[in-house]
Structure 1
Amino acid sequence: MVKSQYELEREANIAKNRALFEGLGLKQAVKDLGSSSSSKTTAKPVQPKRVKRERSEAELPRRQSRRLLTKMGDYSKESKEERKLREKAREEEEERLEEERKQAEEKARIAKRPRHHVLNFHTLAETDSPQDIAQLSTTMESVVQVSRAVGDPEAFAFSEEAKHKSALKELRDKVENLKVLSRAKVTTNRIYCSAYHPEFTKDLLFFGDKHGQLGIWDARAPPDEQEEDSDIAPENREGGKYWRFQLHWPATPKSSISCIKVDPIDSHNIYTSSYDCTIRSLSFVSGSSKEIYASNDGVLITSIDLPAAGHEMWIGDGAGGATHLDLREAKTRTRRYELSEHKIGSVSVNPTRPNFLLTASNSRVLKIWDTRKLDGMPIDLLDLADQDVSEDDTARHVLNFDSSIVQEYCASKVGKGAFRGEWKHDKSASSAYWDPRGRQIVSTSYDDTLRLWDIRSPAFKTNDVFPSLRPFCHIRHNCQTGKWLTILRAQWSPNPDAYPHFTVANMNHALDIYSSKGELITSLSDPTMISAVQAVTCSHPSIVERAASGNASGRCVLWAPESLIDEP
């Protein structure tokens, strides 16, 4: 086979390179070169170089308008006057964009700030969908003024077991057959707390959610006409009528509503506490909400409670403090006592003996305090230079008694009786509340146990520490809610005329009702209507056959007798 000129030249080059490598002592390179030369692969043919064809004549410049040249950035041919106008327009555009940027930043800053001023209903109800505020006003105008009823410490303290069984049977007959009478998505986000209004002609409920929204639900209100004519099945329709108010701001988890209380002496007014470190009062008479307290040090407010007289308030916070607020005085007098090493999850004022305060905290301890002694703690114990005191008479002056001062005072002769007793749980004590009679306590803990105490009246009449604060009943109850569910809290029925009982959520999507003896009265559930944990519960203050619950999606349920379905 005759070799081409290309192959002859290639072999000559290889021979020349081999001789060069041998002279340099690179034998491995020579070996590789030899293997390369013995390869049977066929070389690609040499491609002829493409010669770019020259244009026969020079390309002439294209014509363009001055407007296009200016738009493309070529200003070489514009006049002096045109350049001045262009630069002026550019400066004006930059100023406009800078102003818009500043306005957007200011709006963003305002949107993140808590609102401390008075807010009317129309401001609170600003949402994507319009709400009939006039209908809410009409609903609240029909509400009768109701004050909180005070119980009797010796009520239902039967000496005969037969009377207990009879009262328990009567209660069971009323609540064991409660059904889902109405349900609706009252708030946009997870329910954190609830309150049942004492009005007895309608079921009026308040729910606070994770993003500072307050849902007001008239659970048995007749539906709108367009809802009656809709194609939605009756069992899937939204029950009653609800309104949503963005009560605490901004609408983020930093503004979660932690507690709701109906004013015990003015049922047209409610109080809400929030993680935005404020407490607000919402009046349905004035149609506005105003701030009554703000934590200056940024400590989260976890719980509030008021005695039946309604003139003062106790506030629990995330730093282990309990603050006493007199609602009749100006903002200048507030006393805070550090009663725990960790967050206080709940505070509860004894309804029949309002000077006894109950606290439950993440330090696992339930404690009872005599607030008369705490309020008598002398200011001389404080270093006023370190206190939150300003010269502004309109500002709130907080006298902060830290834990060392409280402990030293309680151990002194003058402070004897301020601390009355404690009980340590195996894990965090989520909540603890007095019953309507002011003698029993129910606590909820992460150790999956509900505990009950019964403190007899003579123990309250001395200044001594309670001789024993051992719970008489332990109830195993799953309280492992995890990250996405609201912490379970056992809540007493506030009805002082009913046999004492409490409600608590069940992780099996039910609502459990227990007696004050720790007996399970009933477990309300409906798998066809409920498919989520009813983490937050509450009961009507005067009607036994009423209960309500809410879940993590903002959907709420009214439990009532089935016979009420056909009633207006």
Structure 2
Amino acid sequence: MALPQAETLEPEEPSPRTRQWMQESTPPAPSEARPSPGAGGRRGSPARQLRVLLTPLAVAARRLPQKRLLEAYGGGGPGEGKRPCPEPRPRAPEAESDGSDSGEAADGYSQLSAYERKRLKNITENAKFFAALKLHESAARLQQIATKTQPQVTKRPKPKKAEDEGVLRRSRRLQRVEPSGIPMPAMAAPPEAEEYAQVPAGPLPMVPEDQTENSKSAEDLLATWMRISEMKANAKEKHTCDMKRYQDSLNSMVLSEENIKKVVKYRVSAMAIHPSDSIVLVAAGDKSGQIGLWNVDCQSEGGAHVFVPHNYLVSCMHFSPCNPAHLLSLSSDTLRCGDVTRAVFDEVCRSEGSFSSFDFLEDNACTAIVGQWEGDVAIVDRRTPGTSPELSADIGFQKTRTVHVHPANKQYFVAAGAGDVCVYDVRHLKPKGNKPVSALKGHTKSVASAYFSPVTGNRVVTVCADDKLRVYDTTSFSATAAVLSAVRHNNNTGRWLTRFRAIWDPKQEDCFVVGSMAQPRQIEVYQDTGKLLHSFYNPDCLGSVCSINVVHPSRNILVGGNSSGRLHVFKE
């Protein structure tokens, strides 16, 4: 803030108005001889006087009185000239003041009162003090610094791409130029996505998809299936051999190049193996509804053929235990029976797209229990005309992935779903309000499968998304089944692989087979105690995950299917 500089003042005759104000505001000078004429005072006695010294306020706070005072004594405002200082008038003698103001009277300001001289002195000293601080120069310098323009930061302009920029280097293959330098012919436009014809309802002829090319080999395959189905397998009593012999049999099973074949086009989602002792016939279903049949013993190209009896993913397949000429396959909308004797795929049951798995309730395979994705289960009788189930029962599941019937007591079945695994009695099923016979608890995430052990059904093995393989004791159906063992196992197959299903070896009551995510790629065999017995692998031949596996009921043969439709057969 700029402050006015003090000027040298000369005494001047005050104006009448100023003189009146000075007389009213200036207290009389104290005198020892002059008596006080105030009321109540005593004549002739000295009066008590109070002297008040007023110190002027800051210049900025009292500009108006200062201006008036300067104007009165010759200091005009801006642009005004100084008035001539008149001759001082003689005044009546006044009482002497104290010694503090004696210096002021000697400077020619004797006509001013002591208060005015003191005030004028303070103003002058303050003006000199502010002038010594050089506030004007500091303010001007600060103003110059504040108004100084800041240097502008200039951004470096981005280089513009040259319009004639050269083409990036690419190989001759990408440029479609032969090594000799001759341009290759232009490629044809890629074909649009294939639209598969919908499979109609009702019976379908058992005609291979590639019938026009290999009709003779397809007929030979079906004839082989029919021939081995007529041969009765040797009835062998199922029993569990000692662990040493079993491990020796596992070690004798190897994988070779001639036992690997792409049977279906897409990811394998279900498999079944024919129970014949003479010929190894494997059926595989994929996610598009195709079913591939492969005669492993036939080394020619015509050993495998593909059929299309379904529109959607094939989730479960079984050869009939009493008549292996029948292959039953389940998709989300239909349950079909492939009868090779009549060369037809019959439609057993139809739904609105909710079937997930099935199993036979009797040895003659006339009735079956079918699980549904909505959580219900259905009873299907193949002898009943029509394609509707006999009964649909709500078991309280959000989702049912697998169902499996007890091998000894056919009235019991185990169902696995989204975190729930329970055993039910099919005789007591009703549309609503079904209660389980036994609950297999402990799963923290969704369960992919649950299966009874093959001979006695005293064990149930489950595969859960919480990376655990669990074995339960189902010897007696208590309210809650006890956990015998829990094995840490990586079951996170992701969206591109079929979820693992642990299946029991039909020849060994206490051992089961499951796929693996370990490297090198392998198929693992565990004991019900949780001990790893054997790993099937061959780094030269097996380089993918086999999510779906099936074991031959009487021979030492294991088949694994991967996500590209390829089957791998380990055998003696």
Structure 1 and Structure 2 fold alike (TM over 0.5): yes
Counterpart residue type for residue 138 of structure 1: A
Q: Give 1:299's aligned residue.
A: 353
Backbone CA RMSD of aligned residues: 2.4
* 1:125 partnered with 2:209: yes
In 2, distance between residues paired with 1:200 and 1:147? 7
User: 3-state DSSP class of the match of 2:553?
Assistant: coil
Q: Counterpart in 1 of 2:308? A: 246
Residue of 332, 339, 347 corresponding to 1:283 = 339
**Amino acid of the residue matched to residue 315 of structure 2?**
S
Q: Output the CA distance in 1 between the equivalents of 2:315 and 2:479.
A: 34
Deviation at 1:199, TM superposition (A): 0.5
1:180 aligns with 2:192: no
Aligned to 1:325: 380
Tell me the equivalent position of 1:169. 244
Q: Return the alpha-carbon distance in structure 2 between the equivalents of residues 178 and 537 of structure 1.
A: 14
User: Normalization by structure 2: what TM-score?
Assistant: 0.61
Structure 1 residue 150: deviation in Å? 9.7
C-alpha change, 1:194 and 1:256, in structure 2 (3 Å) is same
Q: Secondary structure at 1:247's aligned position in 2? A: coil
User: Contact conserved, 1:151 with 1:352, CA < 8 A, in 2?
Assistant: no
Matched, 1:316 2:335: no
Residue aligning to 2:525: 513
Name the counterpart of 1:447: 466
Distance 1:114 1:148, change over 3 A: farther
Out of 470, 488, 495, which is 1:476 matched to?
488
- The answer (yes or no) to whether the contact 2:438–2:479 under 8 Å persists in 1 is no
1:192 and 2:277 are equivalent in the alignment: no
- Cα 1:319–1:112 change in 2 (3 A) is farther
Q: Give distance in 2, aligned partners of 1:467 and 1:245.
A: 45
Residue 554 and residue 129 in structure 1: after superposition, are their counterparts in 2 closer, same or farther (change >3 A)?
A: farther
Q: 1:212 to 1:285 in 2, by over 3 A?
A: same
Counterparts in 2 of 1:413-452, with a 5 A limit?
Answer: 419-437=437-455, 438-452=457-471
Q: 1:266 aligns with which of 310, 316, 323?
A: 323
1:356–1:369 contact (8 Å) kept in structure 2: yes
**Alignment match, 1:356:** 412
Quick one: structure 1 residues 196 and 301, their matched pair in 2 at CA, closer, same or farther if it must change by over 3 Å? Answer: same
Instruction: Label 1:423 to 1:559 Cα distance change in 2 as closer, same or farther (>3 A).
Output: same
Amino acid at match of 2:567: C
Residues 183, 303 of structure 1: alpha-carbon distance in 2 compared, 3 angstrom cutoff: same
The question of 1:490 aligning with 2:546 is answered no
Matches within 5 A, 1:42-441: 113-122=198-207, 124-126=208-210, 129-131=213-215, 132-145=217-230, 146=232, 156=240, 167-181=242-256, 182-223=259-300, 241-249=303-311, 255-275=312-332, 277-295=333-351, 298-307=352-361, 308-331=363-386, 334-362=390-418, 364-374=419-429, 377=430, 401=431, 405-407=432-434, 410=435, 419-437=437-455, 438-441=457-460
Give the secondary structure class of the aligned counterpart of 1:471: strand
* TM-score between the two structures when normalised by the length of structure 1: 0.62
Other structure's SS at 1:309 match? coil
Task: Indicate the structure (1 or 2) with the bigger Cα radius of gyration.
Answer: 2
1:184 match: secondary structure: strand
Deviations 1:264-285 (A, max 9, x none): 111100100012x101100111
Structure 1 residues 483 and 551, CA gap change in structure 2 (3 angstroms): same
1:497-508 alignment, distance < 5 Å:
498-508=508-518
Partner of 1:143, secondary structure, is: helix
- Residue aligned with 1:135, SS: helix
CA positional deviation for 1:512: 0.5
Distance 2:235 2:426 in 1: 22
Alpha-carbon distance between aligned partners in 2 of 1:555 and 1:198, rounded to the nearest angstrom: 21
Shift of 1:469: 0.7
185-194 vs 325-334, greater mean Cα deviation? 325-334
How far apart are the structure 1 equivalents of 2:542 and 2:389?
Answer: 47
Distance in 1 between the 2:345 and 2:460 partners?
33
User: Which residue matches 2:558?
Assistant: 547
CA contact (8 A) 2:523 2:537 kept: yes
Shift of 1:329: 2.5
SS at match of 2:482: coil
Cα distance change, pair 138–113 in 1 and its aligned pair in 2 (3 A): closer
Q: Is the 8 A contact 1:171 1:499 kept in 2?
A: no
Deviation digits for residues 159-213 of structure 1 (CA, Å, limit 9, x no counterpart):
xxxxxxx811110010024211400001111100111110010111110001111
Of 124-133 and 514-523, deviating more is 124-133
Q: 1:214 to 1:313 in 2, by over 3 A?
A: same
> Is residue 545 of structure 2 the alignment partner of residue 527 of structure 1?
no
CA shift digits 1:522-566 (9 cap, x unpaired):
0011111111111111100111x21000101111100012xxxxx
What secondary structure does 2:265 align onto? coil
- Give the counterpart letter for 1:406 in structure 2: G
**C-alpha displacement at 1:222, in angstroms?**
3.2
- Residue number in structure 1 paired with 2:120: none
Contact kept, 8 Å, 1:370 with 1:420, in 2: the verdict is no
- How many residues matched? 370
| Higher RCO, 1 vs 2 (CA within 8 Å, ≥6 residues apart) | 1
Instruction: Give the match's secondary structure for 2:242.
Output: helix
Contact 2:504/2:512 (<8 A) preserved: yes
- Cα deviation, 1:87-110, whole Å, max 9, x if unaligned, reads xxxxxxxxxxxxxxxxxxxx98xx
What's the CA shift for 1:502?
1.3
Q: SS where residue 140 of structure 1 aligns?
A: helix
Is residue 539–residue 547 contact of structure 1 (8 Å, CA) maintained in 2? Answer: yes
Cα deviation digits, residues 465-506 of structure 1 (max 9, x gap): x154121100111100001000001011223xx453211001
Q: Aligned-pair distance for 1:302?
A: 1.0
Change in Cα spacing, 1:422 to 1:517, as seen in structure 2 (3 Å) is closer
Q: Partner residue of 2:90?
A: none
Match of 1:386 in 2: none
Residues 246 and 322 of structure 1: CA distance in aligned 2, closer, same or farther (over 3 Å): same
Change beyond 3 A, Cα 1:179–1:433: same
Q: CA deviation at 1:141?
A: 3.1
Structure 1 or 2: more helix by fraction: 1
Distance 1:535 1:149, change over 3 A: farther
Aligned equivalents of 2:458, 2:523: Cα separation in 1: 24
CA distance in 1, matches of 2:529, 2:234: 25
**Runs (5+) with no aligned partner, structure 1:** 1-106, 157-165, 225-239, 250-254, 378-400, 411-417, 461-465, 562-568
Task: Pick closer, same or farther for the CA change 1:333–1:280 going to 2, 3 Å.
Answer: closer
Identity over the aligned pairs, expressed in percent? Answer: 24
In structure 2, runs of 5+ residues without a counterpart are 1-193
CA 1:522–1:422 in 2, change beyond 3 Å: closer, same or farther?
A: closer
CA shift in 2, pair 1:114/1:485, >3 Å = same
State the distance in 2 between where 1:151 and 1:352 align.
14
Secondary structure of the structure 2 residue equivalent to 1:138? helix
CA drift of 1:220 comes to 1.9
SS in 2 for 1:348: strand
Preserved contact between residue 485 and residue 528 of structure 2 (Cα < 8 Å): no
Contact 1:316–1:347 (CA under 8 A) maintained in structure 2? yes
